[in-house]
Amino acid sequence: MRYITGPITTLGERAISTVAFIGQLGLLISATFGASPRMVVRKRGRRLAWRNFAFQLHRVGVKSIGVVMLVTFAIGVILSLQIVPILEQYGAGDQIASIIGIAFFRELGPLVGAIVLTGFAGASIAAEIGTMAVNEELKALRSHAISPVRFLVVPRVLASMIMTTCLAVLSSIMGVLGGMLTTRAVIDMPYRAYLDLTFDMVETTDIVTGLVKAAVFGVLIGALACQHGLAVRGGASGVGSATTRTVVISIVALTVVDLGFTAVFYMLGW
């Protein structure tokens, strides 16, 4: 019986812990957005620390620009090199512009940018807050009646949401640029013709759905990183484990959420 009940018990425990984790994440996101409007309009003492917020925007987004540009440009080149020969066999090589444009603005721009941001900024946020938890700085904040959610989580989640959205636009542009340059080199397609086809095929719906995904991805990255950081226990090893879990779980969550968005938009005809 032990061989039967053991795996079932383990599976049940993991299921309960997963549901509890999702519930805690939902509560953290709710508390974050519940505190955000009051922090923007309140007077001194409980307002959003704009200097700290600007620093988070710079750390989360500005420092990630170079990496995101390089990765998405390379993906645009790779897709063009793989797809153009196949399209050329059917006399539709010029359609690479529409394929690259729609793929990046709807899917690859937001998703790739968010994944890069997870490894670049999400791990850093988790390690920073985790170190504060180990050094009992969080207890010091609470002893001074300062909420860690208001002081630490809100600026990081908002910065992640804003900068992930901005990086999604940049990622899409760099992907299209990579595809355009590669197509010019492979089949000598004029730049103007490539851009005209891209603008003709990419609709407002494609751009809006990509930006909505990017905003949600940013909230997920910031909230997951903060939640893992706040839950750190056990010293330096706990910080390392929290950082690793942040990256792994964030990538899985981003992929699953993107799948859900794509399925919903498909059913809605967007």
| Burial (CB count <10 Å: 0-12, 13-18, 19+), residue 195 | middle
Residue 233 has pLDDT above 70, yes or no: yes
In a domain, 37, yes or no: no
**What HEC string does 10-31 produce?**
HHHHHHHHHHHHHHHHHHHHHH
**Mean pLDDT value of segment 181-207:** 88
Residue 43 has pLDDT above 60, yes or no: no
What is the predicted pLDDT for the residue at 254? 92
In a domain, 261, yes or no: yes
In a domain, 88, yes or no: yes
Please state the pTM of the whole predicted model. 0.87
Residue 235's pLDDT band, with cuts at 50, 70 and 90, is confident
In a domain, 9, yes or no: no
Provide the domain limits for residue 201. Answer: 48-268
The total number of structural domains in the chain stands at 1
In a domain, 27, yes or no: no
Instruction: State pLDDT tens for residues 105-131.
Output: 998 999 998 998 888 888 888 888 888
What is the predicted pLDDT for the residue at 85? 86
| Average pLDDT value for the chain | 85
- Do residues 258 and 213 make contact, with C-beta atoms less than 8 angstroms apart? yes
Residue 152's pLDDT band, with cuts at 50, 70 and 90, is confident
Instruction: State pLDDT tens for residues 168-190.
Output: 999 999 999 999 999 988 888 88
In a domain, 175, yes or no: yes
**Mean pLDDT value of segment 132-159:** 83
